[in-house]
Amino acid sequence: MDEFPYTGLVATHSLNSIVTDSSPGAACYTTGNKSNNNQHGVFPDDTTANFDNPRVELVGEYLARLHGRALGIVTTSDVFDATPAAFSLHAKSRRDSQALVDQYLALEPDVLMGGGADYFLPEGVPGGKRKDGKDVIVAFRAKGYQVARNTAELQAATGPRLLGLFADDDMDFEIDRDPAKEPTTAEMAQAALKALARSSPNGFVLFVENENVDTAGHANDAASLMRALWAFDDAVRIALDFQRGSPETLVIVTGDHETGGFSPTYALKDLSSLSSANRF
């Protein structure tokens, strides 16, 4: 990623705070509008309960409506986490996980991959957290999606619509990842590009994130952060390889915000908790 021909600076602070979170930070790119912390795809005073006709249009929605572009979302976090959701959904609260998954089912993005199977599955099923008893994975299958739950199933996928859920919540740090259960960021990016190229002759918008850079930064976990950056750089290579065959493709590498305060000397006593009380 350090070899890109152009470099720029962006300011993605939220409307109500110079210290943004991921929701309004990412929404700066997808809507061109500022929003408050914990919000994306809405104006701060939005009282609309039904997001079928939101007042703020996302870039993916705009391109789909006017030009028939497809949409792909790839992340190592929950697929409904703040940053991927800001590229595809509308929320007055980034914490409303079940409602965000429902929006994905209505939106039908061509590719959706990452963690967060817990809010696709009902309580009573292992890992399930939905309160309404609904199995959204079954609902996606009914809409023609191939579903991948591990690396082998992802590699075997051949259809134009793909749902990949590789963990109940966030996927593991690269340093801890079981390659049989969870694919790399690059492997997910490769599968997404193949599916989107099959599904959309008019082109597509693809979001690819390695959330573990952010999470490891919060935890002051230098080893995990470095490996997350390397894993993301491998995915950038996949994107550039695709661009060489499709030179009209625009590749942008950026962050929705900076995870401030990182210091290798301000580490955790116990890696099982991110609590501020757990600092050396």
3-state helix vs strand vs coil in the chain, percent to 5: 35, 10, 50
User: Exactly one of 14, 17, 22, 23 is catalytic; which is it?
Assistant: 22
88 is annotated as an active-site residue: no
- Residue 111 contacts residue 195 (beta carbons within 8 Å): yes
Rounded Cα distance, 37 and 21, in Å: 6
CB atoms within 10 A of CB 229: 16
DSSP state of 172: P
Beta partners for 113?
Answer: 74, 164
Direct distance between the N- and C-terminal alpha carbons of the chain, in angstroms, rounded to an integer: 33
Give the DSSP per-residue string, 190-235: HHHHHHHHHH-TT-EEEEEE-THHHHHHHTT-HHHHHHHHHHHHHH
Tell me the catalytic residues: 22
